[in-house]
Structure 1
Amino acid sequence: MRSPEPSPPLLTPAPAAAEAMLPASGPAVWHGAWTTPVMRPSAAPWFETWAEQGFTDQTLRQVVRVHSGGTQVRIRLSNAYGHTPLHLTGATIGRTATSAAVHPDTMRTLRFAGSSSTTVPARGRTVSDPVTLPTEPLEHLTISLYFKEATGPATYHQLSMTTTYRAAGDHHRDLSATAYTDTVQPAYGSWYYLEGVETSGKHRLPRALVAFGDSLTDGFGATIGGNDRYPDLLAQRLLAAGRPRPVLNAGIGSNKLLTDSALGGDAGIARFTRDVLDQPRVGTVIVLMGVNDIQQSDDPAPGARREAAPVTAQQLIDGHRTLIRAAHARGVRAVGATLTPYQGAAGWSAAGEVIRAQVNQWLRTSGEYDTVVDFACALDPDGTGSIREDLHIGDNIHPNPAGYRAMAEAIDLAALGQ
């Protein structure tokens, strides 16, 4: 299998770039309410997805929880890894009822440059026209996308920990869930083509916080549909503390800081600009990356190359420095997170543990990040070198909901900036 392609350029500029400095009385200021990093379609070795087969005369219904409210909403769609134009026949958005149902009187037709259909260029993206739909932080929205023509393999996000629904034929305007009988089991779920949801309203919110990382940020081990990943719980903490701000999850399971992966997406240093800095009005990023570089020298995707050389602590430190420089160049506060323990996991080794300790020592003492959150201590408070038994899912590497809560509670809210 050939090496994954570099991260493709996006043909439409990020919507935040020209709006971040607009006065309150000027045009609408858009805030990121929800996002997910997109990936090239590939066969997932752990669970089924619809990415490789794509969609023909089918409707997708995808549920997201927004972290900022407003009076208007719009969505971003990505065809970043498509080799042909993507034809979207129709789309709607509304407040989620139960499962795939939508609350009556909240269904809105999404238009693109005034049209109810659109074509997204190969390797490009599009942003919908705004629709009036009052939303509140932590509210669930349902986005329905109908594809009459064959899409080909789908740009997607592999792990959603949220059920995505599929119906045969055109059901994007249905309020009920009756037609949406198809899901993937087990329902780890994926998101397809949907890259972001943005809100705008009367009040300017603090700048967004982006959580950037691998499966520990993406939320493997969280409750399916439970919104208890650490970024979700951090958003809840901020809201409860009277510091509401968007918290955007830019984690990808199996992602590495330095190396592209057929399974885990583009390397962190390659996707950082698109997935963090180009988010609407981003102000802070939390970086938790490096464990996969240490413990996975191969790529577990079927047919992938497996001759990667072992990573060094200095290479990881240099990679983190690349992210810090990029963030600071855009005026973004950079928060580093210590690499969490994984002793007892299949990929652990004594040599890898030395590298993790060296990187964590640099994170804690160098002062190069604006501040540091100690996730390693949150999951291993006694310093045993392993995640505490009640804080992981049984594999010694992925937190359970209690572990994600411990991570969220370890963050000093005042240190996140505004």
Structure 2
Amino acid sequence: MNTAYVRRIAAPLFAGSLAIGILAAPAAPADATPVAWTAAWGASPQLPSTGFTPNWSQEGFSHQSVRQVVRVTKSGSLARIRLSNTYGTSPLRITGAVIARTARGAAVEEGSVRHLTFDGKRSTWIPAHGELRSDTVQLDLKRLESVTVTLYFAGTTGPATFHSQGWADTYRAEGDHRADTTGAAYDSTSQSWYYLSGIEVGDAEDRLRAGTAGSHAGGTGAEGGVVVFGDSITDGFGSTPNADRRYSDALAERTGRPVVNQGIGGNLVLNDSAWFGERATARFRRDVLDAPGVSTVVILEGVNDIGFSEAAKGPNPPATYKPAPVVSSRELITGYRTLIHAAHDKGLEVVGATLLPFKGSDHWGPHAAQVSNEVNDWIRHSGEFDAYVDFDRALAAPSDPDRLNTSYAFKDALHPNDAGYQVMANEVAKVLHK
């Protein structure tokens, strides 16, 4: 089936406009039996960089296989993957790709290995700054099941488009081991994802329901998927690695709805960063609006916009905390409005989330305290979001509402721990069930 398509992406770094900056995708080629696809897992692409933990993005890959384990949040009998060369400066050669059900670690279940094709061929090229979806493959998947995607690169890739904070082991082997079920050859690990930006799931019955809606129709109401969009708190910083304890994981477990995590650690609403991705207003179309089967987006972002300038006042501020302009609540609200309008134009419900307490962290200071209070008051009372979830109050310490409750706090006083992420999921679930 000819379901693959290529898209070139405009990805200018450090642009100043708040306009949604990614070009719209052309329609996928026609299929005689269309499928109502739903995004079941995702990771926002980033520029190759040092990252939070050691990774392979800057060195890339050469005659190597890369095996990545992710958890899908929807069941189905059909699957396809989404690959991104967004930050590649030259075409990327994918020699082969395989999807399978995960056994343990780098091992996969025997009998579940499926070779993916792209426009009917196992090998393909992705243009510089482009992305590609695979053809449809038949593979029975259960909701909340781990699946493994293996990419093989016979040539040299150069620096790799990746997602820094995977909080799950990715495996690398020398040579072609895409169909290896034991995983024994995969002797190197990192905790980032490479080139893989999405998995979409459908079902044979969905073909009958798809009708003229095509493969990118959004869901509606409680049946639609949810994208959680934000920075490192959404990304799951501070959660237990290899345990699926991000708030997006807990939300999928709590609600039964498909949930896709599009957080980037360190991300900003208003400014691009060489380390922490394109600004939220620039990546919103790619990461949210282009996801099929989605009806709701939860937006939690802004603490870095107002906190980097506070952190930069310290004696040894990290070089990654740049740009660090002093941002007002008015400027941040303008950014939120850009996201709200774009989501509404797509027909999505938009849930705004108040910024969590962060007193005691390196992001805290007089200006950040003032702006966070102003922003949270606006989120609660403006009525511009369709609904809001109050993380600020739900996770606050009883003795000091500006601090995270110690029961829910990671050691940096900025991020939640596993228990805090569970509370966040519970609060979002309440809003989604109204």
TM-score, scaled to structure 1: 0.90
Alignment of 1:34 onto 2:41:
yes
Q: Are residues 397 and 96 of structure 1, via their aligned partners in 2, closer, same or farther at CA, if it must alter by over 3 Å?
A: same
Cα distance in 2 for partners of 1:196, 1:304 equals 27
Q: Secondary structure of the equivalent of 1:217?
A: helix
Q: What is aligned with 1:125? A: 131
Q: Are residues 277 and 179 of structure 1, via their aligned partners in 2, closer, same or farther at CA, if it must alter by over 3 Å?
A: same
| TM alignment of 1:165-180, pairs within 5 A | 165-180=171-186
| TM alignment of 1:9-408, pairs within 5 A | 9=22, 13=26, 27-44=34-51, 46-184=52-190, 189-201=191-203, 202-203=205-206, 206-239=223-256, 245-297=257-309, 306=322, 308-380=324-396, 382=398, 384-408=401-425
Q: CA deviation at 1:384?
A: 2.3
Tell me if structure 2 keeps the 8 A contact 1:387–1:397: yes
Cα distance in 2 for partners of 1:306, 1:29 equals 42
Q: CA deviation at 1:5?
A: 5.3
Q: Secondary structure of the equivalent of 1:37?
A: coil
Tell me if structure 2 keeps the 8 A contact 1:11–1:123: no
Q: Secondary structure of the equivalent of 2:404?
A: coil
Cα distance in 2 for partners of 1:88, 1:146 equals 7
Q: Deviations along 1:139-179, whole A, 9 cap, x unmatched?
A: 00000000011000000101000000000111001001100
Cα distance in 2 for partners of 1:258, 1:31 equals 29
- Letter of the 2:338 partner, please give it: T
Cα distance in 2 for partners of 1:5, 1:178 equals 43
- Letter of the 2:34 partner, please give it: P
Q: CA deviation at 1:410?
A: 1.3
Bigger CA drift: 403-412 or 116-125?
403-412
Q: CA deviation at 1:281?
A: 2.1
Q: What is aligned with 1:411? A: 428
Q: CA deviation at 1:208?
A: 1.3
Equivalent residue for 1:4, pick from 4, 13, 31: 13
Cα distance in 2 for partners of 1:182, 1:73 equals 27
Q: CA deviation at 1:416?
A: 5.9
Q: Secondary structure of the equivalent of 1:43?
A: coil
- Letter of the 1:200 partner, please give it: G
Q: Are residues 106 and 334 of structure 1, via their aligned partners in 2, closer, same or farther at CA, if it must alter by over 3 Å?
A: same
Cα distance in 2 for partners of 1:296, 1:416 equals 35
Cα distance in 2 for partners of 1:301, 1:71 equals 49
Q: Are residues 12 and 384 of structure 1, via their aligned partners in 2, closer, same or farther at CA, if it must alter by over 3 Å?
A: closer
Cα distance in 2 for partners of 1:325, 1:406 equals 28
- Letter of the 2:260 partner, please give it: L
| Count of residue correspondences | 399
Q: Secondary structure of the equivalent of 2:283?
A: helix
Cα distance in 1 for partners of 2:202, 2:321 equals 44
Q: Once the two structures are aligned, what percentage of the paired residues are identical?
A: 45
Q: Are residues 381 and 18 of structure 1, via their aligned partners in 2, closer, same or farther at CA, if it must alter by over 3 Å?
A: farther
Q: What is aligned with 1:242? A: none
Q: CA deviation at 1:308?
A: 3.6
Query: Whose strand proportion is higher, 1 or 2?
Result: 2
- Letter of the 2:287 partner, please give it: D
Structure 2, unmatched stretches of 5+, are: 1-11, 210-218
Q: Deviations along 1:52-87, whole A, 9 cap, x unmatched?
A: 000000000000000011111110101011010000
Q: Secondary structure of the equivalent of 1:390?
A: coil
Q: Are residues 152 and 59 of structure 1, via their aligned partners in 2, closer, same or farther at CA, if it must alter by over 3 Å?
A: same
Bigger CA drift: 148-157 or 403-412?
403-412
Q: Secondary structure of the equivalent of 1:167?
A: strand
Cα distance in 1 for partners of 2:44, 2:321 equals 23
Cα distance in 1 for partners of 2:141, 2:307 equals 42
Tell me if structure 2 keeps the 8 A contact 1:14–1:280: no
Q: What is aligned with 1:22? A: none
Q: Secondary structure of the equivalent of 1:409?
A: helix
Q: Deviations along 1:222-270, whole A, 9 cap, x unmatched?
A: 111111111110110112xxxxx21110100000111101111000111
Q: What is aligned with 2:7? A: none
Q: CA deviation at 1:125?
A: 0.8
Q: CA deviation at 1:350?
A: 1.9
Cα distance in 2 for partners of 1:373, 1:283 equals 17
Q: Are residues 304 and 394 of structure 1, via their aligned partners in 2, closer, same or farther at CA, if it must alter by over 3 Å?
A: closer
Tell me if structure 2 keeps the 8 A contact 1:11–1:125: no
Q: CA deviation at 1:309?
A: 2.2
TM-score, scaled to structure 2: 0.87
- Letter of the 1:31 partner, please give it: T
Bigger CA drift: 297-306 or 47-56?
297-306
Tell me if structure 1 keeps the 8 A contact 2:22–2:285: no
Tell me if structure 1 keeps the 8 A contact 2:99–2:116: yes
Q: Secondary structure of the equivalent of 2:379?
A: helix
Q: CA deviation at 1:377?
A: 1.3
